[in-house]
Structure 1
């Protein structure tokens, strides 16, 4: 799926967040300590090398909804923007905290004059956020923020499974 929203190219695709060679920044669905974990955090840390955890350590811990930026080291990108999503059923209000992840990641991108950014589906793995609700929150926030972006020209959602991809595509269709 490829759409234009407020002059920003937005796409959804199934793929590996650690292999987005044409994106200036990738977003890490991080843990509070900004260390290697499972899922997205594990994939990005393995690909980036141990320097990624070393770079994040002085900024940790972060709170749900927060975003911080490091360089990308051995990843094919310039930056990693680390976001701590909410644990579903524990961190409240879940939707506001999840939306804050996307909002704050885009703020960090603007601060660094990043032109292209790839997001995973934040909080939908080990943090238990239902994918359909997460997709709805993510696309609403990205759409709202797209009105204010000056540097960011391309936003990509990189989804792990075909089912997740369909849920994100459906969420975009509901915005129209």
Structure 2
């Protein structure tokens, strides 16, 4: 049975087959985790990303990881949270599609251990409870195709929120 591991710390120090990177549609250096990934990946990563087609919100692209402690980067463009206004439902669907796109690419590539940040919950400001619910629903749906899926949160408080969602909605 696949393990979905919720943890906190520096995702860039973890080992796995691939790391999921929140991305800009042109796969250029963004903010937050994206900026850290590009700093570690260096010019080789930037050059490989330039060769990729534009990536719409919810889609994903794969590149080599270069100097990072994983083999591949799975880039996905996350939606911006708009405070739950009339576009909130669309943003939630797009966030869900980010996870589906990433896992689809990972499955096609035969990757077995994927490292996820809290997609959308960083600079794009999704509330952790909403981000966790969508992520865990999709991760549970696809889990049989992988050996391990790790979600690494940036703080103990974020980890606590994700664990509360996991207990409430996904534990039998």
The two structures have a TM-score, normalised by structure 1, of: 0.89
Find runs of 4+ consecutive structure 1 residues off by over 6 angstroms. none
Q: Residues 1-40 of structure 1: matches in 2 within 5 Å?
A: 7-21=1-15, 23-40=16-33
Structure 2 gap segments, 5+ residues each: none
Please state if 1:85 is matched with 2:74: no
Q: Give the match's secondary structure for 2:19.
A: strand
Q: Which has the higher helix share?
A: 2
The Cα of 1:58 is off from its aligned counterpart by 2.2
The 1-side partners of 2:155 and 2:72 are apart by 24
RMSD: 1.5
Q: Give the match's secondary structure for 1:81.
A: strand
Match for residue 155 of structure 1? 149
> 8 Å contact 1:18–1:47 — kept in the other structure?
no
Pairing partner for 2:39 from 34, 39, 46? 46
The 2-side partners of 1:134 and 1:11 are apart by 16
The Cα of 1:92 is off from its aligned counterpart by 5.7
Please state if 1:131 is matched with 2:128: yes
Q: Give the match's secondary structure for 2:160.
A: helix
Please state if 1:169 is matched with 2:169: no
> 8 Å contact 1:33–1:62 — kept in the other structure?
yes
Structure 1 gap segments, 5+ residues each: 1-6
The 2-side partners of 1:98 and 1:71 are apart by 23
